Structure 1
């Protein structure tokens, strides 16, 4: 296990970020770094099993440096984002664009101070991301074009949705109960929409005070914009979704009936993932594939699968570097 370290961003010196740097197993100057991006619910510690599996696949060395970290107010980073202190609403003090700027600064300092790389853009980034981390990876790649060579997107957040709208409104004037799938009732929809609004709607605050309300405007389309990688090439993109039936069971524990998840949530998410595959060139895209036996937190439920997909992505990247 890599040692947990702290760093103060020069742009936000009031607070510390906790991170781990897994040093390269190669003696050469790294040409890539692998950066793991958390969702809201599972912090950097959640990547450790998949990283251990990946390291076992390279007993003779060859892995590039890898970085995990917890954003402000998340996991082992207990310091809050300084922007929250002066925000009109501290519970939503900073948004995803701000988190991406922090990520850029974090990587710039780590690569310069720990890897002796003068400029961050001298090394290509490979992102491994889950949930809202996938949105941050996309935003980073389009904000800093030419810097990201690969993305492994594990059950991405549906960035352009309020989540409530994926279910029909049984109280709408034009609602026709006769069109409902077998096993779904108007009361089911009413209960699920209420539950989703309370837990997953972008306006709901979270522990790290990351404001999700601007995400739909930052990433309005699943299939655009097309990303630009280094040297005029588009990045390699692998899109992974949850196992449909595992997710059905997962959602049932949270209060929504299985027929509702099967009829609405899974198809909606699948369509979004089908769009994500198109953010790069067809020959550099893979997916969407379902992660076997995995719910939303793929890295927790199936670390060997995640490690294998990282290995495949790195092999594709190295063939063209």
Structure 2
């Protein structure tokens, strides 16, 4: 495993970002110069270290690999420095949004490509990127591909954040005028739903900030649909997109633990179907017949699929790499 390194973005020279870089294990044909770069994008819950088991699985394969990059965002994991742009923020837990993270990622790629791949900054858009992401990292991957079209050749999206949802509205509102208790699934009560909505609002509502200062307040406006906008890859076609979702039973059990032993039935009845429909939409962002795959269900995995099933993640990444390389 590569050692942790640190870099200061030239746009934010007072702070250091922790990253790992693995050189490519193969040379690429001259037609695909500069070589591809595979980047892992964290969610809010787990740092770059969560990808190390997947990378180890990739390195066990005989398939030639492009250069690999992991990193921790400001205030996350091994990056102890906060985002300098958040200094003086009225609410430090909502210091910056996903677009700010995307701009930082762009700068990081520019500097890493220059230092490690001998690609000049003015040639940065010629590097085919493969983005492997979990949770809010999937939203970041989509926003990067939208903001910098024709740069992302492949996406592996692992249990994407429900970017257009407040999470609470997944469940019916038992206090709404048109609510009918007779419509509830067997064994689920209005009180149980009310409690679930309250618990979820405290933890997952976009108004809840994050320790790193990344705000989700405007995420629904940035990504209002799961199936669009359609993305454009380096060849003018849609990127190869693989969407992986959590195991329904495993996720329900995880949710129950988070809520003190309650909520497994609610997750199965409401959250799992909602998430699956969202993932079905995500497959369509490629806009190209035959370039989308999924949703693949990661058996035995909860929300953090790379932690629970690094073998499956590595397999899906290798499949995308074979299409891109």
Query: Is TM > 0.5 for Structure 1 vs Structure 2?
Result: yes
Equivalent residues in 2 for 1:1-321 (5 A)? Answer: 1-27=1-27, 31-58=35-62, 62-118=64-120, 119-255=123-259, 256-280=262-286, 281-318=288-325
Report deviation, 1:233.
1.4
1:9 & 1:230 partners in 2: Cα distance? 25
User: After the TM superposition, which segments of 4 or more aligned residues of structure 1 sit over 4 Å from their partners?
Assistant: 27-30
Structure that is richer in strand per residue: 1
Report deviation, 1:291.
0.6
1:265 & 1:224 partners in 2: Cα distance? 21
Report deviation, 1:120.
1.7
| TM-score, normalised by the number of residues in structure 2 | 0.95
1:183 & 1:282 partners in 2: Cα distance? 42
Q: In structure 1, list runs of 5 or more residues that go unmatched.
A: none
Report deviation, 1:90.
2.1
2:34–2:126: 8 Å Cα contact kept in structure 1?
Answer: no
1:234–1:284: 8 Å Cα contact kept in structure 2?
Answer: yes
Q: After superposition, give the CA deviation of every residue in 1:261-296 in whole Å (9 maximum; x if it has no partner).
A: 111000000110011011011310000110111000
1:84–1:91: 8 Å Cα contact kept in structure 2?
Answer: no
2:54 & 2:187 partners in 1: Cα distance? 38
Report deviation, 1:30.
5.2
| TM-score, normalised by the number of residues in structure 1 | 0.96
2:245–2:276: 8 Å Cα contact kept in structure 1?
Answer: yes
Q: In structure 2, list runs of 5 or more residues that go unmatched.
A: none
2:220 & 2:86 partners in 1: Cα distance? 21
1:155–1:242: 8 Å Cα contact kept in structure 2?
Answer: yes
2:16 & 2:86 partners in 1: Cα distance? 14
Report deviation, 1:228.
0.4
Q: After superposition, give the CA deviation of every residue in 1:194-243 in whole Å (9 maximum; x if it has no partner).
A: 00000000111111010110100000110010000012111000000001
Return 113-122 or 74-83, whichever deviates more: 113-122
2:110 alignment partner, SS class: helix
Q: After superposition, give the CA deviation of every residue in 1:3-26 in whole Å (9 maximum; x if it has no partner).
A: 211011011111110000011112
1:244 & 1:231 partners in 2: Cα distance? 36
CA RMSD of aligned residues (A): 1.1
2:57 & 2:297 partners in 1: Cα distance? 19
Return 28-37 or 216-225, whichever deviates more: 28-37
